[in-house]
Structure 1
Amino acid sequence: MTRYNPKEIEPKWQAAWEQSGIYKAEDQGEKPKWYSLIEFPYPSGAGLHTGHIRSNTALDIVSRKRRMQGFNVLYPIGWDAFGLPTENFAIKTGRPPQEVTKENTDTFRRQLKSLGYSFDWSREVDTTDPNYYKWTQWLFLQFFKEGLAYKDKININWCPKCKIGLANEEVEQGSCERCGGPVEAREKEQWILKMTEYADKLLDGLDGVDFLPEIKTQQRNWIGRSEGAEINFPLSPFSKGSTPQAGGISSIKVFTTRPDTIYGATFIALAPNHSAIGNWKLEIGNYPEVKVFIEKAKEEAEGQRNADKAGICLQGITALNPATGEEIPVWVVNYVLGDVGTGAIMAVPQHDERDREFAEKYNLPILDKPLASWEEVLEKTGGKKVVRYKLRDWVFSRQRYWGEPIPLVFCANCAKEPGENSKHEARNSKQIQNSKVQTENKYSDLNYGWVAVPDEQLPVELPRVEKYQPTDTGESPLAGITEWVNTACPSCGGPATRETDVMPNWAGSSWYFISYCIAENLKSQAPSIKQFTSPEFQNKLKYWLPIDWYNGGMEHSTRHLLYARFWMQFLHDQGLVPVAEPFAKRTAQGMVLAADGKKMSKSLGNVVNPDELVNEFGADAVRLYEMFMGPFDQAIAWAERGILGPWRFLEKVWNIGSRVHFLEERVETLPEVKRKLHQTIKKVSEDIEGLSMNTAVSTMMEFVNMAPGKISKADWQLLLRILAPFAPHITEELYQLLGNSKHEVLNSKGQSIHSQPWPEYDEALLVEEKFELVIQVNGKVRATVSAQKGISQAQAEEMAKPAVSKWLEEGEVKKIVFVADRLINFIVS
């Protein structure tokens, strides 16, 4: 037999698997279903990287094992292709994003296929395909029609370098998570999804899913449910009149999680954008200085505000502590945020670190007062218990070109004359959370004049343009395409203008796991409630959802993972999907670092190219090394020569397989090898479920080291089966060699090793028949020898005496103590 040559066998079997459709999932059937999911890749210009391989291979192993266990497995793939990096690369190279995206996607597809993944390619989706994003647009419109999408002028995180607004989840320590540049605050009208309406449901849903504990902790902290109290602090009377009122406002409502500390409150702190400040222009003695401070604070990103606390006292405005009656000053500070709580806090420097830092900086009192009970404080102040959240609504607009157009038009005529269409249901955040109220027309109060593009006109396609660079004004490049912007109102037929912002790159990934279930229906059918609720759609969704195992990066725990859960919760409330939680299980892989321990980056020149590895060592060796290099959930540095170990292991497997092929059927496996085989089957089976892939590989390596010349054809096939999910090509070749001497390419699913049953281990063979016999002389351990369990004392003496002869010669053996299967002790004097 020839030497191991992956360049020959791997392309052959990849073509055979694709031709046979062995990995294509059936939408129904007698087998139990299994849905494995990886985060579909963003097809960047850099191509596939080692992090992709680590995640993809782990779930590929799980998926292959499930097929062998008799499951109908869906392991799909697609492309998360809208977004900033592609647009920036297109701008840099002077090419259309559509062209760049296709080229990058083709590269990724080729690379993934070269690694032998068992994806169901028939369900491939692409977020930039109009047939896909027409459904993304339709789903957005469901939020809009329910009043959960609204437009508002707010302070947003603005990246001057990328010239784009960012959601809070896209800002890391005051910097843009894409380019790393500083983020500043900017006031702008934005489309927003009311994710806060689902704060409790998102929290409660975590109790019923199998997520890594650290993922649950991150999401709970991000949502930040706080039980506290709202308390009104009356304004002090003004010198020009006895009425304690300024600008029509008689009190400041604060939110606090520590009402018991109210006796130590020494000042009120307002957010720079607190609505009351503008009403107090006449009463604030230093209003010009206050205005300057507010404008400066608005330009600061949240991280900068917390790091450098600053404020200004409102001269002429004071409040009364309702618990003590004492007058306290009112400050505007940069570390209180307008969209958290009420935008106002009672500052208690003795019990809050931020307040203490601020008080020490501005020489404000720090009082050590006794704590009171909540009940006492609320009764005395007239306050009430409330629940608040750290979570904020999701800023959904992006002022770029390469994204899904938002399918709305603004009609000035309809803004004046509401349509007489039938009632619709709209969310009302002012009433009970997640409740519905009836409105008299189809425009909610928040979106007056905005009209949804009808279902039959979807998709609103992204126009092809010559110039798509971001603008310095903050407007989307689409705003300059007059012939696209100007349109007719779908409601009244009058002149209207399209929304020119696009959706964030998170939009398409918020439901892609649903799209895989109905992929073949997405292209041919126009989006509508009728289609989505049809038996054809719903039967497939009920069959496949929820996803059984989802793996991805920890960095997405409070971004994509939270967004996807929000969309699913909403769609479940609308009766469009059968379950509220999309993912039954969520795991995460550690990052693959460069050899120097740094993050791989093209700019640092330390990126490992998978194409070169596959070309030199083969896909099986690359897959095996990615699993062998260390614990799956921990970051690990790439070792340039580390792949040689897995490569040599596969060579050894190949050489043994070559010899086993010629063995006669009557050749039996030696007992100790058979025992080790069944121990290996048990260990590998358990390790796969725990993603302990490195120990699974090392266990198989140990077995192969003792197997040469001592194993039967039947037992060798068992080893090949448990190795098959890790190294699918070489195992397929060797398996076929054992049963088909002509080396024919398989032509049905049944012939493949990947369709064979997963091996069962024999419990009786797991017990070790050998033990280490401890040999003592006068109670001191002098040696150990390997012995067969159940040996007699006489046999133990015979084995032990040569090992301790020099101690036995020092005297006469007076007594021998023997403990079966444990030890023998010679008493010498």
Structure 2
Amino acid sequence: MPYSTEVDRKWQKKWEETKLYKFNPQNIDKKLYCLEMFSYPSGAKLHLGHWYNYGLSDTWARMKRMQGFEIFQPMGFDAFGLPAENYAIKTGVHPQDSTYQNIETMERQLREMGAMFEWDHEVITCSPEYYKWTQWIFLELYKSGLAYRKEAPVNWCPSCQTVLANEQVVDGACERCGTEVTKKNLTQWFFKITEYAQELLDKLEELDWPEKTKKIQTNWIGRSEGAEIEFKIENKDLSFRVFTTRADTLLGVTYVVLAPENELVDKITTDENRKAVEEYKEFAKKQTEIDRLSTTREKTGVFTGAYAIHPITGEKVPVWIADYVLATYGTGCVMAVPAHDERDFEFATKYNLPIKRVIKGEEGQVDELPYTEYGILVNSGEFDGMSSADARVNIVKKLEGESKGELKVNYRLRDWLVSRQRYWGAPIPVIHCEHCGIVPVPEKDLPVLLPYDVEFSPDGESPLKKHEGFMNTTCPKCGAKALRDPDTLDTFVCSSWYYLRYPDNKNNEKAFDTEWINKMLPVDKYIGGPEHAAMHLLYARFITKALRDAGHLSFDEPFKSLVHQGIILGPDGNRMSKSKGNIVSPDEYIAEYGSDVFRLYLAFGFAYTEGGPWSDDGIKAIDRFVGRVERIVDRVIELRKESSTDEIRKDEKELNYARHYAIKAVSEDTEKFQFNTSVSRMMELVNALYKYDQETELKNVKYMEGIIADLLRLLAPFAPHLSEELWERLGYSYSIFNESWPAFDEAALVKDIVEMAVQINGKVRGKVEVPSTADEKEIEKIALEDKKVKEYINGKEIKKVIVIKGRIINIVVK
């Protein structure tokens, strides 16, 4: 039958019945774990992005299968989270019902894609069988001292009515709904990701990841080396520490600044300054971190009335609060050196605070302030004349000797805030007892089930808090009445370990069998969007390392090699969204052309890692290409009945070159996810087959058929249903995916005859064929004897002939 959606269905059924793609654990030594970031079932249908991500990564995996690898390519759903809950609030449909309904639809569509997904290994994060082990991981981190609870200023989304991690705030707004984020002081659960800051940084170099992604993580972790310096508060038994990378400027400190949220503020503020300080603290609460850190925003602050003692000079310096200092960054305290820091200079100028130069240029020049470069110390007492580098060392040594400072490494990375005040998530497996305090739920009592009958309208507190049946329990330690933790876990906790569950998803006794997972992991190829660089990818790395240190894993990193797919934009060049009305549904194209034509078009029409605006201008050309492949297969079947030759002649050699060039190029480009050029090379091979068929009277049919068989092997990962159909049509045994990937012959890529363009006075006037072994004199002779070239020269004087071997002959005439 000609290629159509009927062909798709035929082969999907056969693959399912024969379990063609089932992973064989006996071939563990050839294992290749290919994983796409799983999708969130917030919509009822697959969109173009799913197809672009999953369809083309499946193409890569299919090639690897034919190259002899045992492919493990599972699929599942990241099923907890706000969209389902918000949809429930809007429509009244329970999040569990809408999520499972959407999963059922998406499972069907993913099967219709014809990918090699291992459905026997599916995971769904909202199922108790999965989140039981998410809760177990929480408890493992708690046991290791990596999960803790504290009150802290947190990002609060007024619309979603929940806390957000720093990574979920984009340009001061909630990444999910776009509402401006505010600050709240709440007691929350955190994971101590900062414990692994240095290893997360160090191990990046070992990963086959895009450099841009590694740079994003490097900047997010934000390592800086410097000194922590102690300042004492005048007339009080209180002190604070500042972290600085510029200890050489310490003698230029003229004031210090605390974050408005710093707990020291209330203790040191004088009575006459308290009203102004309280008002300013309220003002700062309403500012986002992005705004507060902006270099262009006007600096504001208030004097507390207190003074600190300079650790070297003993001088009094005023203590201010200002919102450009954050409680969550560094120590929440800053030493201000206005002569040598632009931000401090702006603040000091505005509030008429002293500005003291302590650095001049290396050559002795005195530049205008603020001078932010390194140089030579001045106005710094015993350190005068030292270079900045020497002064940093000597000043810290002096402070260390007096117990007022020490060398320190600081990180921008903050601990991961994991508790959420929403319903649709994994309950935090902790019990709060009046007598025993925080008590972990015993492993035998997991999972802590999420109740179905919950009123989940958001009001700033967890909906679970209002569910008495859920909240009221007994303490596992003392048996007294106790309360469960009302919060649920950030959905990024669910997705931070799912790759560990896939290979052992039926295990009811453990999250995974350590011995088996150590054989199956790390993931060999991970494919997904670049937007997860500082969230999911960082969190997954942390969880892997934490579980390794708890004795559950023996590897350091979850994903060896990473590829980011680009984004298919709407036809208007903008990101697709319902509000813009620019969403393109793949369904209509698949119904008209079949899934293979659609997959081939996605492969051919875009550079995979870049994407671009959608246009269907070329899909008809791909449909015609598929038709040409079918016709050349039918043609060779027809030619089997006619007389043929076994002789290898010049035209066979040309076809052989096209064959081996295509094999080499498709193999290399597909390996690099360069699918568009791979399809181009296959098109060239089809053209070469048609040329041979049309221009050769007595054909070497066996030879031609062998090349068509290679063409189908190359095409199979890109058009799996079509290739199976044509393979069967040729009478070959099932399945083409049990065939070996074709190998190219380097010798066949050396042409006996090379075609070269001939230019006359810079204009191409013809082409000549020359032996590949010919030297420049022979090539010149062949060109000058060519009939067309002679006509163009027509007796004119030849000044010179320039030969660039293998490329061009340029004849210059008067």
TM-score in terms of structure 1 length: 0.87
Give the counterpart letter for 1:146 in structure 2.
S
Give the number of the structure with larger relative contact order, counting CA–CA contacts within 8 Å between residues 6 or more apart: 1
- How is 1:177-196 mapped onto 2 (pairs within 5 angstroms)? 177-196=175-194
What's the counterpart of residue 245 of structure 1? 235
C-alpha distance in 2 between matches for 1:155 and 1:95: 34
Matched, 1:105 2:103: yes
Task: Identify the match of residue 761 of structure 1 among 713, 725, 744.
Answer: 744
- How is 1:710-725 mapped onto 2 (pairs within 5 angstroms)? 710=693, 712-725=704-717
Matched, 1:312 2:301: yes
Task: Identify the match of residue 601 of structure 2 among 607, 612, 625.
Answer: 625
Task: Identify the match of residue 333 of structure 1 among 315, 322, 334.
Answer: 322
8 Å Cα contact 1:284-1:317 kept in structure 2:
no
Matched, 1:730 2:716: no
Which string of whole-angstrom CA distances, capped at 9 and with x for unpartnered residues, describes residues 683-729 of structure 1?
A: 11111111111111122122222322537111101011111111111
Give the deviation of 1:24 after TM superposition: 1.1
- How is 1:499-510 mapped onto 2 (pairs within 5 angstroms)? 499-510=485-496
Distance 1:362 1:675, change over 3 A: same
8 Å Cα contact 2:299-2:324 kept in structure 1:
yes
C-alpha distance in 2 between matches for 1:149 and 1:156: 17
Distance 1:400 1:826, change over 3 A: closer
C-alpha distance in 2 between matches for 1:30 and 1:141: 31
Q: Secondary structure at the match of 2:744?
A: coil
What's the counterpart of residue 64 of structure 1? 62
C-alpha distance in 2 between matches for 1:163 and 1:815: 81
Which string of whole-angstrom CA distances, capped at 9 and with x for unpartnered residues, describes residues 635-667 of structure 1?
A: 400013332222221122122222222232956
- How is 1:10-409 mapped onto 2 (pairs within 5 angstroms)? 10-29=8-27, 31-235=29-233, 244-246=234-236, 248-249=237-238, 251-281=239-269, 283=270, 285-307=272-294, 308-370=297-359, 371=377, 372=388, 373-382=391-400, 383-409=405-431
8 Å Cα contact 2:454-2:464 kept in structure 1:
no
Give the deviation of 1:797 after TM superposition: 5.5
Q: Which moved more, 1:57-66 or 1:371-380?
A: 371-380
Matched, 1:705 2:687: yes
8 Å Cα contact 2:756-2:770 kept in structure 1:
no
C-alpha distance in 2 between matches for 1:93 and 1:30: 48
8 Å Cα contact 1:45-1:86 kept in structure 2:
no
Give the counterpart letter for 1:516 in structure 2.
Y
C-alpha distance in 2 between matches for 1:148 and 1:806: 82
Task: Identify the match of residue 410 of structure 1 among 428, 432, 456.
Answer: 432
8 Å Cα contact 2:151-2:185 kept in structure 1:
yes
C-alpha distance in 1 between matches for 2:785 and 2:456: 84
Distance 1:362 1:51, change over 3 A: farther
C-alpha distance in 1 between matches for 2:779 and 2:812: 15
C-alpha distance in 2 between matches for 1:815 and 1:526: 83
RMSD, aligned CA: 2.5
Distance 1:52 1:816, change over 3 A: closer
Which string of whole-angstrom CA distances, capped at 9 and with x for unpartnered residues, describes residues 255-303 of structure 1?
A: 111112223333211111222212124x353112101211221232211
8 Å Cα contact 1:408-1:452 kept in structure 2:
yes
Give the counterpart letter for 1:374 in structure 2.
R
What's the counterpart of residue 744 of structure 1? none
Give the counterpart letter for 2:392 in structure 1.
W
Give the deviation of 1:616 after TM superposition: 1.5
Matched, 1:681 2:669: no
Q: Secondary structure at the match of 2:155?
A: strand
C-alpha distance in 1 between matches for 2:67 and 2:31: 11
Give the counterpart letter for 2:656 in structure 1.
K
Distance 1:814 1:98, change over 3 A: closer
Give the deviation of 1:113 after TM superposition: 1.3
- How is 1:637-656 mapped onto 2 (pairs within 5 angstroms)? 637-656=613-632
8 Å Cα contact 2:277-2:304 kept in structure 1:
no
What's the counterpart of residue 4 of structure 2? 6
Give the counterpart letter for 1:582 in structure 2.
P
- How is 1:301-700 mapped onto 2 (pairs within 5 angstroms)? 301-307=288-294, 308-370=297-359, 371=377, 372=388, 373-382=391-400, 383-414=405-436, 449-471=437-459, 474-521=460-507, 525-527=508-510, 532=512, 537-664=513-640, 666=644, 670-700=652-682
Give the counterpart letter for 1:138 in structure 2.
W
Give the deviation of 1:782 after TM superposition: 7.0
C-alpha distance in 1 between matches for 2:800 and 2:39: 73
Distance 1:612 1:546, change over 3 A: same
C-alpha distance in 1 between matches for 2:804 and 2:244: 70
Distance 1:147 1:786, change over 3 A: same
Give the deviation of 1:514 after TM superposition: 0.4
Give the deviation of 1:819 after TM superposition: 9.2
C-alpha distance in 1 between matches for 2:218 and 2:805: 56
8 Å Cα contact 1:545-1:578 kept in structure 2:
no
C-alpha distance in 2 between matches for 1:193 and 1:390: 16
Which string of whole-angstrom CA distances, capped at 9 and with x for unpartnered residues, describes residues 170-208 of structure 1?
A: 011110000011000011111111111111121122122
Distance 1:820 1:480, change over 3 A: closer
TM-score in terms of structure 2 length: 0.89
Give the counterpart letter for 1:640 in structure 2.
D
8 Å Cα contact 2:600-2:719 kept in structure 1:
yes
Give the deviation of 1:364 after TM superposition: 3.4
Q: Secondary structure at the match of 2:563?
A: strand
Give the deviation of 1:48 after TM superposition: 1.4
What's the counterpart of residue 789 of structure 2? 803
Which string of whole-angstrom CA distances, capped at 9 and with x for unpartnered residues, describes residues 18-53 of structure 1?
A: 111111112232651100011000011252121121
Give the deviation of 1:825 after TM superposition: 8.3
Give the counterpart letter for 2:338 in structure 1.
P
C-alpha distance in 1 between matches for 2:687 and 2:764: 30
Distance 1:360 1:619, change over 3 A: farther
C-alpha distance in 2 between matches for 1:292 and 1:364: 22
8 Å Cα contact 2:759-2:810 kept in structure 1:
yes
Distance 1:814 1:130, change over 3 A: closer
C-alpha distance in 1 between matches for 2:19 and 2:136: 32
8 Å Cα contact 1:27-1:540 kept in structure 2:
no
Q: Which moved more, 1:704-713 or 1:109-118?
A: 704-713
Q: Which moved more, 1:17-26 or 1:366-375?
A: 366-375
C-alpha distance in 2 between matches for 1:799 and 1:410: 97
8 Å Cα contact 1:398-1:502 kept in structure 2:
yes
Unaligned runs of 5+ in 2: 360-376, 378-387, 694-702
Give the deviation of 1:554 after TM superposition: 0.6
C-alpha distance in 1 between matches for 2:672 and 2:71: 19
8 Å Cα contact 2:153-2:186 kept in structure 1:
yes
Give the counterpart letter for 1:718 in structure 2.
D
Which string of whole-angstrom CA distances, capped at 9 and with x for unpartnered residues, describes residues 417-475 of structure 1?
A: xxxxxxxxxxxxxxxxxxxxxxxxxxxxxxxx11111112111111011521212xx21
Runs of 4+ in 1 over 6 A off after TM superposition: 779-782, 813-829
Seq. identity, %: 43
Unaligned runs of 5+ in 1: 236-243, 415-448, 741-749
Which string of whole-angstrom CA distances, capped at 9 and with x for unpartnered residues, describes residues 584-634 of structure 1?
A: 111111111000011101122211112222111211111112122222221
What's the counterpart of residue 240 of structure 1? none
